[in-house]
Amino acid sequence: MSKIGRRIIEIPESVKFEIQGQDISVTGPKGQLELRLPHKIKLEITDNTILVKRTGDDKPSRALHGLWRVLIANAITGVSEGWTKQLDFKGVGFRAEVQENKLILNVGFSHPVEILAPEGIEINVAKNVITISGIDKQRVGQVAANIRRVKPVEPYKGKGIKYVDEIVRKKLGKQAKAASGTGA
């Protein structure tokens, strides 16, 4: 049995968890998320805990077991606490601002890049940190990845957009290589 799938999910007091057939509704102080369980997965709900089980022992059922346990746990965490990702940008003249529900990036192109925040996602900018927050972990991560994709960090000077906890390995330039005597 899956190590992740076996773990019990605790439901906080502030979260309301409902299941009707294969449809799951998770409601909390931050909002509501809905999921649709595959037929190979079933749930056992007792008091304030959920145990995810699979109906068979075939390969697709085993593959879905741990996945759906994590998806349900992420939904519960999202509606109770929310999810956030932070991006850091660095470069001469790089600016970011939020107007209504649009992020406007000036990151060295001849034109500003506008990114529209999807429904349920909030974007904030403070100094050189962009914060993306929402209740759906997948959506928050996808919006952060789309923003990062506009101008990824280059390895020579470290200019561009990166995750706050991302480590960029810098490369030596031509002159540094020539000075060290490792040239051909």
Q: Domain residues for 72?
A: 3-80
Domain check: are 89 and 149 in the same one?
A: yes
Sign of CA dihedral 164, 145, 120, 18: negative
Nearest to 125 by CA among 106, 149, 111: 106
Domain check: are 67 and 12 in the same one?
A: yes
Residue 44: strand, helix, or coil:
strand
Does the reported pTM lie above 0.85?
Answer: yes
Phi-psi map region of 160: left, alpha, beta (phi>0 left; psi -120 to 50 alpha): left
Tens of each residue's pLDDT in the chain, 184 residues:
578 888 999 999 999 999 999 999 999 999 999 999 999 999 999 989 999 999 989 998 988 999 999 999 999 999 999 999 999 999 999 999 999 999 999 999 999 999 999 999 999 999 999 999 999 999 999 999 999 999 999 999 989 999 999 998 988 888 777 787 665 5
Domain check: are 31 and 58 in the same one?
A: yes
Domain check: are 97 and 56 in the same one?
A: no
Domain check: are 90 and 61 in the same one?
A: no
Residues 6 or more apart in contact with residue 31 via CB below 8 angstroms: 78, 79, 120, 135
Question: Which CATH number do you get for residue 88?
Answer: 3.90.930.12
